[in-house]
Amino acid sequence: MIVSRNRWRDVFDGTVPDDWQPTMSVSVIIPAYKSKTLEFTLASLAAQDYPEDLMEVVVLDDGGGEEPVVIGEYAPKNTRLIRIHEVSDGWGRSNATDIGIKATTGDIIYWCDSDMILFRDNVRQHAKWAHFIPEAATIGEKGFIEEWDYTPEEVYRKVLEGTIGDDYDPTTLHEHWSKEIYRKTDDLNDSDGRNYSTHMGACATVTRAVYDRTFGQDTRLHLGEDTEIAYQLWQAGAVFIPAHDARSWHMGPGTVQHQGELVAWHNDVHFAQRMAIPRYRRKADNRIWEVPLIKVVTEVTPETAKYARPAIDRILNNTQTDVHVVLVGPWSELHEGRRRMLADPMNELYLVREWFRTDGRVIFAEERPESVFPAPFRVDMPITVELASGSLQEMYRRMDKPWLGAMRFFTPGHSNDEAVTIWNSAVVERARAYVTDDRSLEDVVAQIAGFEWASSEAALLSDLRENDHLGDRVVRVDPEVERLQHELAQMRVRAERAEAPVSAPRAVARSLNARTGGRAGRLARRVNGLLGGLPARIARGLRRILAR
């Protein structure tokens, strides 16, 4: 079954059959920097009840050769140690984690800090979710203990006996901020994945199948790297699940526990560049961010090139400025050799390339990208569509609050197959794995989060080919003024059409086509084509007879 939105409980509530046994392998990744507590973590891993042939542990010593960490007496059988300074010039947790993940092959990736004591069934409680939900990204339960007198041998024995959890009363320990989010979102069931920041590296897992859809660890980051990769996982289609039964003790306070404001002040700058949601981090408009909120994908040919500059200028002049444009065209065919400039049939493409050459928001591509990851929204539109100043914001607004999978807008002058469509990237990335010959991407997206149709007026769309003033200066218009102007133009069109009333059959046909999301129209056109246009000719003849 496919998880809709982030409603994991509708598919699997965590209860496994009595005879269930794990079959997926787990790679535990432990970055360590001069760690004094690693021996406790490894001891607790050595006592896990997960099949040892399905678990590997990689410890990444990031100490640069100073105070090197060692693998103690108590450690899982399949444990390896990699000293970062021997294989990489990089440093920090993200760099170490990246090296560790690339050195492993497990079906499930388990991020684990070197100051964790995992209860006996911790790995099993994490891993079971991946066996039933292929997109599972789990977050373990941890209690923060600040005093202990354990030895590695005692940790191993207590974990093996299942008594380690009796040593502290969780209700007396510091409550992590994620607990309040769980309460407000029904354990993330109602979060639509927006609370990806709860997926933290101290004790969290994800299936490698989902991780491989991402860019991997951002090794430029030295704080907040777990939040950044969690954002990527969200956009790659992950389902976030609090694994409350995957219990552990965190030895010492968390990074944010005593200096939360300072950490947020530092991280928010880096997060703003890389994460388009939540929106509050981007405190300025008219900026070019590394990861945009929206990527518009459109295609230009020599025949349509004259519309490219006015079309894209209107995209970039939208009130929603957090946008990049992927302009697909035969750019490799343009050359710097001698040519007859004004007589060259490709000349307009040369002009388009020159017009946007220095604008970093415009990406010249040879082929349509399959994905715009990690941008959360993608708009597909013909180059002959005219956007108003508020079009992109209206599309985003209609998609964001209900968190739809996709919305397609009836587009003047264009068939329903060419209609402007905005896609929710996180939904699309999850849907791809379930597309078959009998199930289209649209069908699966609709199942996960809904696929709706809307009028052209809803997104202020027009046919650019009907614009007699393409050479005019493109000016951003206040959304309310633009809306009123658009409504006035639509009223004029309706008034003109009222002079030639629509026949009853045509009105019925239009209504049916709208209710079926354009499928009735496509079917009618297909039948008409197979019959050589005969049905259309008959219909036109009947209309002429009725008009007499």
Q: Report how far apart, in Å, the C-alpha atoms of 544 and of each of 503, 506, 535, 547 are.
A: 11, 13, 14, 5
Question: Which residue from 112, 136, 128 is spatially nearest to 23, judged by alpha carbons?
Answer: 128
Phi, psi for 104 (deg, rounded to 5): -125, 170
DSSP 174-243: BPPTHHHHHHHTTTTTTSTTTTGGG--TTEEEEEHHHHTTS----TT-SSSHHHHHHHHHHHTT-EEEEE
The DSSP secondary-structure symbol of 8 reads G
| pLDDT score recorded for residue 78 | 96
| Residue recorded with tokens 């979060």 | 191
CATH T-level topology, domain 294-497: Spore Coat Polysaccharide Biosynthesis Protein SpsA; Chain A (3.90.550)
Same fold, 25-256 and 294-497: yes
Q: Convert the pLDDT of each residue in 454-481 to its tens digit.
A: 999 999 999 999 999 988 898 888 767 7
Three-state SS at 279: helix
CATH superfamily of 25-256: Spore Coat Polysaccharide Biosynthesis Protein SpsA; Chain A (3.90.550.10)
pLDDT of 507 strictly over 70: no
| pLDDT score recorded for residue 526 | 65
The domain ranges of the chain are 25-256, 294-497, 504-547
**Residue 119 is encoded by which pair of tokens?**
């209860």
- Side-chain half-sphere of 329: how many Cα atoms within 13 Å? 27
Question: How much is the average pLDDT of 384-388?
Answer: 97
| pLDDT score recorded for residue 377 | 98
Kindly state the percentage of the chain with pLDDT values over 70: 89
The DSSP secondary-structure symbol of 516 reads T
CA distance 275 to 373: 11
Question: How much is the average pLDDT of 186-200?
Answer: 94
Q: Convert the pLDDT of each residue in 254-285 to its tens digit.
A: 666 667 788 888 989 999 999 999 999 999 88
- The residue count for the chain: 548
Q: Report how far apart, in Å, the C-alpha atoms of 174 and of each of 111, 141, 253, 404, 407 are.
A: 22, 12, 8, 37, 44
Burial of 114 (C-beta count, 10 Å sphere; 0-12/13-18/19+): buried
CA distance 525 to 505: 16
Question: The pTM is what?
Answer: 0.86
Flag the least confident range among 134-143, 416-425, 482-491, 535-544.
535-544
Q: Convert the pLDDT of each residue in 81-92 to its tens digit.
A: 999 999 999 999
